[in-house]
Structure 1
């Protein structure tokens, strides 16, 4: 990516990434990582770009609401709105950024992208906003609309969260998902020691602290972690702290045969593999419906030196029983496709692309996957069902319905759970919301297939 020298490269990169998210459906975290990897800018400018990208996406509804009075009746192109979003975000949320720098760069970006007329429009809107000031969302009378605008969450989602969690908890969730995500790493233990890993990261000026959620997790103060030697050499992989709780709940033994039914990109697959011993026959079979994602699983397996314990196949998990037959696996993980609403901090754009109708059909798919893998589990085996969402309809309600259809299974407490974790729900399943530990929202249920009498 070539950046114009007279424009702050952080602001310019942020606009480019946000445009890709808005017009091409790109995921912000992936697009930002790609842009930073291919653009030579300082760590300060990279930090500004990251702050702007996440900040705009986390506050997009609020920014649109603030922007509306200043271009009433005008039709503007999507990229112009993005330039205005980035400018208003900096004006309203970044105290130490001078307005003059924001105005100059925003106007110059508009000139570069469009024409002098659009640059004048951007400049005029921003100066008008500076002169008149911003509205106070607290003045909105409708409480649902007020929380929607204040937290920049769509109205339908606010209504669902209020019905499930109540006002106080919903407000805490909303505040939490509008903070910056903290970079998390899972250590490739026991292949490498904690000291080796931290020493390698420190050599590249990346400071880490032990995760308070997972014993194999590290939390970094910042930095481009995917570009480090530790990542390249397979000492660490990028994985959220909540996600690191899933594999241990399977209680994997070195010789287990494990099925990871919905595996891409392979973070949990490789975590499962870390408990297996290929010399005694331990193996995890990882499935994904898309061939290119299967390749991604094996790329991660190769980077983490685990190809002797991982086999990946292109297969719809709903065809598992027909493909594998009965009683093949001693442990099964179904990390089911879900709404992803536990990831709102890390993937803030999904709050604008999902709707209630999209989510309503997911429990049927989740249940079908559970039904399909159930026969492939040995008697006495463990089946873990997990999602990265915070809606009961995709979580415990799916599990309860499965148990009603399959009386040969029963639910047991999700263990082990580190003692320091303060979860929204811990019995019998674990439900983390984003405000609980500052990590992703996650659900983990543990089921056991009854022994044949």
Structure 2
């Protein structure tokens, strides 16, 4: 009796949930791996397939389309075929015969012999016909959409903002593998100490060029290491590590982190010795902040509570904080490399309402900042409508605030630096991020 390859079967299940039910890839994959323990090799294969297919879904779907024309497929069968094409096109070490065999077995056992025959037939047909060349697409927007698997609406918006050459660079960049990055929990630990601890677990690291407290790992399961469990570091993208230092936290500061979960920036602020009030609208996410604070031994510096950031002024009263961070809810389009499913789950209409929410949060926290205090507004997106345009709208209605230059680490390549910092994913291989600094005038 033949056995379904567990890695391929798991990948099909996860991808079907992501593409048809809107599940988050990282959460769905993590849950699936806990329920179906795999060898390290199969875990690696399943992870590669899930994220690889998501990065290239539109490309693969375009390649598949001529071979399933007129066929009505269940979502999991469609996903199975897309996953098979991904392995054939992108995984050099996986022979086509293994892909055909496992895909047929999955179809047979999840469906019926007729489905198995259909899957085999389609894959054989693809193998014989070969791959279509996206260069034959005449429209440049559609061509880039298919080549780099970005929805047309997003290619159109990015082209209007950044131009075709920069948009192509961004699109290619987000289809590269994300680098595992971590922030050392200073001053409790030094960068040198953490590098040495991880080296004992055979995890090689190199210093970040973006953050003095950041490290880039060559691989390995960072969250499973003794150093992580001991609170020596937290997993955080390099761009995100720039936010807390922009506020220049001091031990005497009382800081509000208005949209704090899961707590990466909160704990970074607290590592300077400041007292941080961390908010999130969802109670379960507040627990994540508390768990991170506990693991990093920063509970004495962090108070977390559930509160909608738009209710801050009514809850705290005026002039309560020395500094404020608003890491606003946003489209997350700067995270396309790390969260590739965003490109399929977001629509232009979904994003249109976000600036109003972002502006409302800024307006709500403004009265609680002391005169002379600093407010940092940050997002993990690359759209001006959620970034500088929100800041400009806030400044028009709050003449007691001015925007100042966001500090830029020496040698850092950035898309924009005056006065706010805008990183796009192609700048230095990190997430796309926007950071603006405002000061409340005396």
Q: Normalising to structure 2: TM-score of the pair?
A: 0.97
1:201-237 Cα shifts (integer Å, max 9, x gaps): 2232222111121111111111222222222111111
User: Partner of 1:346 in structure 2?
Assistant: 338
1:257-406 → structure 2 map (5 Å cutoff) = 257-276=254-273, 282-406=274-398
User: Partner of 2:233 in structure 1?
Assistant: 236
- For the 8 Å contact 1:37–1:227, the answer to whether it is kept is no
- For the 8 Å contact 1:214–1:245, the answer to whether it is kept is yes
User: Partner of 2:434 in structure 1?
Assistant: 443
- For the 8 Å contact 1:51–1:180, the answer to whether it is kept is no
Alignment partner of 2:68 out of 67, 71, 89 = 71
1:14-163 → structure 2 map (5 Å cutoff) = 14-163=11-160
Displacement after TM superposition at 1:39 (Å): 4.3
Over aligned residues, Cα RMSD in angstroms? Answer: 1.5
Alignment partner of 1:255 out of 249, 252, 270 = 252
Q: Which moved more, 1:20-29 or 1:120-129?
A: 20-29
User: Partner of 1:279 in structure 2?
Assistant: none
1:142-161 Cα shifts (integer Å, max 9, x gaps): 11111111111111111000
| Unmatched segments (≥5 aa) in structure 2 | none
How many angstroms apart in 2 are the aligned matches of 1:270 and 1:138?
A: 47
Q: Secondary structure at the match of 2:417?
A: coil
Alignment partner of 1:246 out of 243, 247, 264 = 243
How many angstroms apart in 1 are the aligned matches of 2:184 and 2:404?
A: 28
How many angstroms apart in 1 are the aligned matches of 2:254 and 2:2?
A: 56
Displacement after TM superposition at 1:369 (Å): 0.3
How many angstroms apart in 2 are the aligned matches of 1:432 and 1:9?
A: 39
1:158-169 → structure 2 map (5 Å cutoff) = 158-169=155-166
Q: Secondary structure at the match of 1:296?
A: helix
Distance of aligned partners of 1:5 and 1:231 in 2 relative to their CA distance in 1, 3 Å threshold: farther
Displacement after TM superposition at 1:95 (Å): 2.2
| Unmatched segments (≥5 aa) in structure 1 | 277-281
Distance of aligned partners of 1:209 and 1:33 in 2 relative to their CA distance in 1, 3 Å threshold: farther
Q: Secondary structure at the match of 1:144?
A: helix
Deviating above 6 A after TM superposition, structure 1's stretches of 4 or more consecutive aligned residues are none
Number of aligned residue pairs: give it. Answer: 442
How many angstroms apart in 1 are the aligned matches of 2:198 and 2:113?
A: 46
- For the 8 Å contact 1:424–1:431, the answer to whether it is kept is yes
- For the 8 Å contact 1:298–1:312, the answer to whether it is kept is yes
- For the 8 Å contact 1:29–1:346, the answer to whether it is kept is no
- For the 8 Å contact 1:237–1:267, the answer to whether it is kept is yes
1:339-385 Cα shifts (integer Å, max 9, x gaps): 10000011110111111111111111000000000000000000000
Does structure 1 residue 434 correspond to structure 2 residue 434? Answer: no
Does structure 1 residue 423 correspond to structure 2 residue 414? Answer: yes
How many angstroms apart in 1 are the aligned matches of 2:111 and 2:225?
A: 37
